[in-house]
Amino acid sequence: MTDDRDGRPSRAKSSLEFTEGVIETAREPMVVLDGRLRVLAANRHFYRTFAVAPEDAAGRLIFELDGGRWNIPRLRTLLKEVLPRDRAFQNLEVDLAYEDGGRRLLINAGKIWREDDHSELILLAVEDLAGRSRPDESLPPAAPEPTREDAGGGTGEFLTMLAHEMRTPIAAIRNAVAVAALTGDGEDVRWCYDIIRRQALKLGILVEDLLDAGRIQRGKLTLRKEPVDAAAVIHRAVETVRPLVAAKNHEVLVTAGPADLHVHADPTRLEQILVNLLSNAVKYTPPDGHIHLDAGSDGGEVTIRVRDDGMGISPEMLSRIFDPFIQADHTLAHAEDGLGIGLAVAKSLAELHGGAIAAMSRGPGGGSEFVVRLPVSDDPKAEAAGLRPPPIPGGSATPLS
């Protein structure tokens, strides 16, 4: 170890050792890069997952690791912008090809500040979405995932899906906490806060959908209906998913209907329907996409449409899109697969209100549209109940992202 003249360890070296100590406590692969994108430190989970020896990684460009598999144009572009432009990125999906198949990764990266020598470093946190790690004799073997035979038919598959779906946001939260432990910089703390808020929101939606799916199946879900201003509920739903929208730089356009657009509904459950549809649109629309939410009246019904220009739905899938756990067949395979519960819950809630929900799409790559229809309420008490949002100009498209 390099010493200062007074015999103490150099501050830069001790700072790096501290960084290594912190990331070693993380359960996901993490690596620290210098300004030239060379590896300064990584944890054992990184070395294990990508079969890289510490001595082979130290000082090398990240793009040279694992036989050059990290040399991905999109990753190169984003990493080169982290320090010069102070531009973190989150949930970048990349695929690494191996002889025995591929590995899909979810990568978060952000700047960390080393106080000792005033240098800027990059922290990469990696989630292996396939959950596969190569053998490492120095670590205990991972327990095999449950199968249908092991866990009793579909239960094993469901539990595997549930564990996968919950693992991703939990891993992101852990990584954000690790970044916060490395630096006290205000910008880094805000970055961590954004990640934790967004992933906690995803977990919250998932848990509520799981609970409600069980209640609906047992016939135990009770609606608390009242006169509700639909525009107010739409406003709250859009605000709820705003962190998810911002993370993918989507533009959300809301076209307001009549000022007296009232429904007789449970406002919490109606918001849940819209949050599920909006989060589904965010999930399956590539970054910088567009989501439109239109509300209006059609005869004796209030109609709310959620449209996107995302990946679309195949014709054979449209007939089953509202079935619980339909995404288990991976026809809509995606890094954020989900359990296929949200749309099923939304459909059940719409029907409990005496309404309906339908899905349309022009096929893969053609975007999707979900239409919710609910009975109109003629009761004017919704406005008096204090449920109206700040006014949105009727019939105008209002960007909310």
Is residue 360 exposed (0-12), middle (13-18) or buried (19+ Cβ within 10 Å)? middle
**pLDDT, tens digit (0-9, with 9 covering 90-100), for 231-270:** 889 999 999 898 889 888 999 999 876 667 888 899 989 9
Q: Is the per-residue pLDDT at 222 higher than 60?
A: yes
Of the pLDDT bands very low, low, confident and very high (cuts 50, 70, 90), residue 188 is: low
Q: Is the per-residue pLDDT at 156 higher than 60?
A: no
Q: What is the pLDDT of residue 352?
A: 93
Q: Is the per-residue pLDDT at 361 higher than 90?
A: yes
Is beta strand 397-399 parallel, antiparallel or unpaired with respect to 251-255?
antiparallel
Most confidently predicted of 168-182, 211-225, 308-322: 308-322
Give the whole-angstrom CA distance, residue 293 versus residue 277.
10
- Give a three-class secondary structure readout of the chain: CCECCCCCECHHHHHHHHHHHHHHCCCCCEEEECCCCEEEEECHHHHHHCCCCHHHHCCCEHHHHHHHCCCCHHHHHHHHHHCCCCCCEEEEEEEEEECCEEEEEEEEEEEEEECCCCEEEEEEEEEECCCCCCCCCCCCCCCCCCCHHHHCCHHHHHHHHHHHHHHHHHHHHHHHHHHHHHCCCHHHHHHHHHHHHHHHHHHHHHHHHHHHHHHHHHCCCCCCCEEEEHHHHHHHHHHHHHHHHHHCCCEEEEECCCCCCEEEECHHHHHHHHHHHHHHHHHCCCCCCEEEEEEEEECCEEEEEEEECCCCCCHHHHCCCCCCCHHHHCCCCCCCCCCCCHHHHHHHHHHHCCCEEEEEECCCCCCEEEEEEEEECCCCHHHHCCCCCCCCCCCCEEECC
Q: Is the per-residue pLDDT at 362 higher than 80?
A: yes
Give the whole-angstrom CA distance, residue 144 versus residue 96.
22
As its CATH architecture, domain 224-399 has 2-Layer Sandwich (3.30)
Is residue 159 exposed (0-12), middle (13-18) or buried (19+ Cβ within 10 Å)? middle
Q: What is the pLDDT of residue 138?
A: 36
Q: Is the dihedral of CA 350, 306, 247, 50 positive or negative?
A: positive
- One of 3.40.225.10, 3.30.750.24, 3.30.450.20, 3.50.50.60 is the CATH number of 11-214, namely 3.30.450.20
For CATH 3.30.565.10, list the domain ranges present in the chain. Answer: 224-399
Give the whole-angstrom CA distance, residue 221 versus residue 218.
8
More confident residue, 387 or 84: 84
Mean pLDDT over all residues of the chain? 75
Q: What is the pLDDT of residue 114?
A: 66
Residue position matching structure tokens 């946190």: 125
Task: Give the C-alpha distances (Å, rounded to integers) separating 38 from 19, 35, 121.
Answer: 15, 7, 10
Q: What is the pLDDT of residue 305?
A: 95
Task: Give the C-alpha distances (Å, rounded to integers) separating 160 from 146, 168, 170.
Answer: 7, 13, 15
Q: Is the per-residue pLDDT at 331 higher than 60?
A: no
| Residue partners of 263: CB distance under 8 A and separation at least 6 | 227, 228, 230, 270, 302, 353, 374, 375, 376, 377
Q: What is the pLDDT of residue 275?
A: 93
Q: What is the pLDDT of residue 14?
A: 45
Residue 37 CB coordination number (10 Å): 18
Long-range residue pairs from 67-75, CB within 8 A, at least 24 positions apart, any chain: 69/96, 69/97, 69/98, 70/96, 75/107
Give the whole-angstrom CA distance, residue 260 versus residue 379.
10
Q: Is the dihedral of CA 83, 112, 167, 135 positive or negative?
A: positive
pTM for the full predicted model: 0.56
More confident residue, 183 or 98: 98
- Find the mean pLDDT for residues 179-185: 60
More confident residue, 280 or 102: 280
For CATH 3.30.450.20, list the domain ranges present in the chain. Answer: 11-214
Q: Is the per-residue pLDDT at 227 higher than 60?
A: yes
Tokens of 372: 């919710």
Give the whole-angstrom CA distance, residue 249 versus residue 282.
10
Give the whole-angstrom CA distance, residue 265 versus residue 374.
8
Tokens of 341: 């519960």
Q: Is the per-residue pLDDT at 349 higher than 50?
A: yes
Residue 108 CB coordination number (10 Å): 23
